[in-house]
Structure 1
Amino acid sequence: MSLWVAITIFAALVQTLRFMLQKQLKGVGLSTGGATFSRFLFGAPLAAMAAAATLLATGTGLPMPGTRFWAFALAGGAAQVAATFLTVALFSLRNFAVGVAFTKTETLQVAVFSLIVLGEPVSGLGWLAIGVGFLGVLVLSHRPGGGGIVSRAAVYGVLAGGLFGISAIGYRGATQELLPLGFFSRAIVTLAVVTFAQSLGMALFLRLREPGELGRVGRAWRRTLWVGVTGVVGSAGWFTAFALQNAAYVRALGQVEIVFTLAVSALVFHEKLRLREAVGIGLVVFSLVGIVLGAAP
């Protein structure tokens, strides 16, 4: 198994755990903004310590990135915050497994962004596999008696997917700007920069728009701590995969998260899926084999 494949599967598993924890935070009095902020609050210092330890262990000096690095990193970070906000809000509209599935329209969007922004094309088999996965998402997003795929949940999911796609391209571009550092050093330094900027931006937003929410997040630290830990660990996995492989392939393979979310939905939240939703998930899983084959050298 390729290193980027193993790392991507690990990142998807940890991200599923984080989404589960964030959904539970909605039940302890936190707003959507507060639950989103918890993703970054404890992640930032952990990422900074990990970056410092990595540079020290490898004997690498502190890199001095150029303007393109900062543009990629900050744009990616802002897009991820907005996408996470939409995803948390989406949880209250549909069940856990289907809610996350809506965001998987990201795979088509990130493939296009990757070609246009970074000049990294996708193979024919890769496009076919991405298309099959996208079809699975359309099946999942059908809402019986509720206006088909043009529903509020679908709009949130597609927007979140597009923003996650922009963030993936930003992070891939930022890690490439740190060459010739090793792949893990590039990933962890980029992660430290991004999470610090996200924490600062979210804290300012909550301070201005939701007075008192920062205090509620702080008082719920026993629950928010684990959201931050799983968030930074999962992000470290995604950033490392982006440093190794085309972002389109990484995010497409990341659809394996659907399998993990299905398990969480049934075992933790006791939510039942319809036959149509099971078919959609099956199409998504089927597309993963094509993604791995399409990305093979």
Structure 2
Amino acid sequence: MITSPIWLPATLIAGAVQAWRTAIQRRVSHSLSLNAAGLVRYLYGIPFTLMLLGGYRLFFPGALPGIGPGFLLFCVAGGLAQIIATNLLILAFRYRNFVVGTAYSKTEAVQGAVLSFLLLDERLSPLAWAGIGCGVMGVMLLSTGGKRMGAMDVLRALTQPAALTGIASGFFFALTAIGIRRATQAVDGGDRFLAALLVLAVTVLLQTLIQGAWLMLREPGEMRRVLRSWRVSGQVGLLSALGSACWFTGFATAPVALVRIVGQVEVAFTMAFGHFYLKERMRRSEVAGLFLVVSGVALALMGAL
């Protein structure tokens, strides 16, 4: 159920910001371990998240909304799923390039649609499902580089490490969205943006404690490197806070599957960052795949009207 039209601009902004953040985080991942590279988005995101929440409360004061049962549990579940998804995405980057790694993770749209139907009973129109199919075809074209492939070739491609980690990343990102949506639903009141910011603040704090504790116990030397990387990691934290605030707003105001389908526009921003920022070559097949992804988003939007 869509409760506010704010979900659409919030989702589009989230896609752009996340592509930018992921590009910078990939640079950080070259000098840090897998878990350390994942931690920077939460640790350095805390001050910016609290600034967003404090700034919003400054302009829109009032009593804090009540918190219903299950709030903390869903924050933990969503936060833990996001930690796993982020680590898998960083691992996918190490197997293949930036665009392809993100493309595999974008299968979360179809995975999110299925999971939200099973767990949240959220239903989509046939046109929205057509948009999902179109988007998945675009993602597959992006991930295979436009090569002509038979059934066995496709099967082999899907069993490669980059594909497995990317698809698994998409699965856990879909679980993240469901956990966050349930957490925002546990916040009373009609201010969905405030609910999203409250969930974000609690979730980021929990994620920092979980992954920070793991790093201190298993890789104490990496924690010092995380702290020394504050110049670049601070950028990751800022963009992560802004992007997550927009994603969480989308999840708080619209069905998970619809947000994730529209969120596939991140692929377009990812291609731009991969080409201009990371100097990765853009092929014709990637342009064609991008067209299919954008067409899928358009169909999903028409199906939501």
TM-score bracket relative to the smaller structure: over 0.9
- TM-superposed CA distance for 1:56, in Å, is 5.0
State how many pairs are aligned: 295
- Structure 1, residues 117-154: CA drift from partner, whole Å, max 9, x if none? 22221111111101111122222233768932221100
Q: 2:179 aligns with which of 167, 170, 179?
A: 170
Find out whether 1:17 has 2:52 as its counterpart. Answer: no
Q: Given that residues 66 and 188 in structure 2 are in contact (C-alpha distance below 8 angstroms), is that contact kept between their aligned partners in structure 1?
A: no
Q: 2:99 aligns with which of 84, 97, 100?
A: 97
Once the two structures are TM-superposed, the CA of residue 100 in structure 1 deviates from its matched residue by 0.4
Query: Paired residue for 2:150?
Result: none
Question: 1:141 touches 1:148 (CA, 8 Å); kept in 2?
Answer: no
Indicate the residue corresponding to 1:241 in structure 2.
250
Are 1:282 and 2:284 an aligned pair?
no
Tell me if the contact between 1:77 and 1:197 (Cα under 8 Å) persists in the aligned partners.
yes
Determine helix, strand or coil for the equivalent of 2:96: coil
Q: Give the Cα separation in 1 of the matches to 2:296 and 2:140.
A: 14
Are positions 1:150 and 2:152 aligned together? no
Mapped pair 1:265 → 2:274: yes
Q: What amino acid does structure 2 have at the position aligned with 1:109?
A: Q
- Residue 64 of structure 1 and its aligned partner are, at CA, apart by 4.2
C-alpha distance in 1 between matches for 2:50 and 2:103:
31
Q: Residue by residue, what CA displacement relative to the aligned partner does 1:139-182 show, whole Å, maximum 9, x if unpaired? A: 22337689322211000011000000000111111111113240
> Cα offset for 1:71?
2.1
Aligned residue for 2:239? Answer: 230
Distance in 1, matches of 2:119 and 2:245, equals 23
Q: Which residue of the partner structure matches residue 211 of structure 1?
A: 220
Distance 1:270 1:49 in 2: 34
Q: 1:132 aligns with which of 111, 134, 142?
A: 134
8 Å Cα contact 1:141/1:149 also seen in 2: no
Rounded Cα–Cα distance in structure 1 between residues aligned with 2:21 and 2:279: 18
CA drift at 1:52 = 3.7
Matching of residue 3 in structure 1 with residue 6 in structure 2: yes
Secondary structure of the 1:91 match is helix
C-alpha displacement at 1:97, in angstroms?
Answer: 1.1
* CA distance in structure 1 between the aligned counterparts of 2:91 and 2:101, rounded to whole angstroms: 10
**Alpha carbons of structure 1 residues 260 and 134: separation in structure 2 relative to 1, 3 Å:** same
The Cα offsets for residues 196-248 of structure 1, whole Å up to 9 and x where unpaired, read as 00011110011112121111010111111110000000000111111111111
CA distance in 1, matches of 2:225, 2:65: 37
Consecutive unaligned residues in structure 1, runs of 5 or more: none
Q: Which residue, out of 118, 121, 126, partners 1:119?
A: 121
Q: Could you say what secondary structure the match of 1:212 adopts?
A: helix
CA distance in 2 between counterparts of 1:17 and 1:112 reads 28
Tell me, yes or no, if the aligned pair for 1:13 and 1:257 is still in contact at 8 Å.
Answer: yes
Q: CA deviation at 1:273?
A: 3.4
d(CA) in 2 for partners of 1:218 and 1:173?
33
Aligned to 1:160: 169
* Residue 39 (structure 1) aligned with residue 45 (structure 2): no
Q: Which amino acid aligns with 1:17?
A: W
Q: Which consecutive residues of structure 2, in runs of 5 or more, have no partner in the other structure?
A: 148-152
Contact kept, 8 Å, 1:42 with 1:228, in 2: the verdict is yes
1: CA distance, partners of 2:123 / 2:274: 35
Letter in 2 for 1:258: V
Q: Which amino acid aligns with 1:11?
A: A
**SS of 2:123's equivalent?**
coil
- SS state at 2:138 partner: helix
